[in-house]
Structure 1
Amino acid sequence: MTLSRAPRGEAPPAAEDTSSRQPADSPPPVIVEATPLGVRAALLEMRARFGPSMPFDGSLGMAEIVLAEVLNNIVEHAYSRDRSGPIELRLVRDGIWLRVDVRDYGHPMPGESLPDANKTGADMTGAEFRPETAPEGGFGWFLIRAFARDLDYSRNGNQNRLRFTVPLNEDC
């Protein structure tokens, strides 16, 4: 499988979500516990919903990487050790795009905004990058930004919401 960056352009605009209700023809949201097993269950559900309709060329792999990074960040940082709770996930295929809407009730992102796009994991630690001393983690947002488009984070009351699109076709 070859991974490539998402197209430089933006995904076509989606209809604005003006309520928490889902249209009648929309699949129900996936709700998992904010645990490593919950993340695994969400990824398996995505594969079950979209895998059968995808060519066996790794096209779904990019979306899986992005979703895994997002969900793991929620488990490790939003809920962390002092909290647990649900993660609500809406997945909609729109042509060659997968539209993702993730909601949780954990801690907000620092500054209630997305991490700086110009920093990698090594930059965020403040240390000079050297492979032998590189941090184990901290590269998730670099990967998310490399493969996803239309990233949008908001905090409404006690709810975090992250929306993004990922191409389901490596050739786009």
Structure 2
Amino acid sequence: MTHPDPMRGGGLTPSNAGQSPADADAALPIVVDANPMGVRSALAEMRARFAPTAPGPDMLGMAETVLAEVLNNVVEHAYRRGGNGPIELRLERCGGRLKVDVRDYGDPMPDGVLPSGALPTCEDAEDGPPEGGFGWFLIRALARDLSYTRENGQNRLRFFVPLADA
């Protein structure tokens, strides 16, 4: 896991004054390469930071599902033209929710808006159900307060995920 260069991403150094070491570590950005191993590393880091304080073993499952879908979308779509750039991730526990802030320097969302999250259709029943297209449906179903912005070549997606069954 690497920590970002504040000059490259702008303002990436967290304000941890007055925090305990565990809180300060949770506030540190996670920066990974936009590839499948980077996604895997980010998910493992999220679990390492938040599992010890989770009230039960599966409390992070929903957050991990949403985060995996978001990060895989960045890899597959934002950096789809063979670009290999960073994904910057900030995670913070806020009561019973996980606050997530994902930043990348890949292509912007089409038309600058989040996908609708509609389920894919089964055009040909003989071929069986579609193999993909469920990511944004899951993200929209499980995340709260989704927002997307693009400034100075940077995509920023923010949302909350409940850490327990609501």
Q: Confirm or deny a common fold (TM above 0.5).
A: yes
Instruction: State the distance in 1 between where 2:45 and 2:55 align.
Output: 17
User: Deviations 1:118-153 (Å, cap 9, x if unpaired)?
Assistant: x2133xxxx537383432111000000110000001
Shift of 1:28: 1.1
- Residue equivalent to 2:58: 58
Structure 2 equivalent of residue 22 of structure 1: 14
| 1:121 aligned partner | 120
Distance 2:91 2:100 in 1: 5
Percent of paired sites with the same residue: 58
Q: CA deviation at 1:57?
A: 4.2
Structure 1 contact 31–88 (Cα < 8 Å) conserved: yes
Aligned-residue CA RMSD (Å): 1.8
Q: Does 1:77 align with 2:69?
A: no
What is the Cα deviation at residue 116 of structure 1?
1.7
Q: How many residues align?
A: 148
Q: In the superposition, relative to structure 1, how do residues 137 and 95 fare at CA in structure 2: closer, same or farther (>3 Å)?
A: same
**More deviation, 127-136/94-103:** 127-136
Q: Distance in 2 between matches of 1:95 and 1:131?
A: 47
TM-score, normalised to structure 1's length? 0.80
In 2, the alpha carbon distance for the partners of 1:107 and 1:131 equals: 35
- Kindly report structure 1 stretches of 4+ aligned residues shifted beyond 6 Å: none
Judge conservation of contact 1:32–1:39 (CA < 8 Å) in 2: yes
Structure 2 matches for 1:130-169, cutoff 5 A?
130=125, 132-169=127-164
Higher relative contact order (CA 8 A, sep 6+): 1
Higher helix share: 2
SS in 2 for 1:83: coil
- The alpha carbon displacement at 1:59 in A equals 1.4
Contact 2:51/2:57 (8 A) holds in 1: no
Q: Calculate the TM-score normalised by the size of structure 2.
A: 0.82
* Paired position in structure 2 for 1:101: 101
CA distance in structure 2 between the aligned counterparts of 1:65 and 1:55, rounded to whole angstroms: 18
Q: Which runs of 5+ in 2 are unaligned?
A: 1-10
**Aligned-partner SS, 1:58:** coil
Query: Residue 97 of structure 2 contacts residue 160 of structure 2 at CA under 8 Å; is this kept in 1?
Result: yes
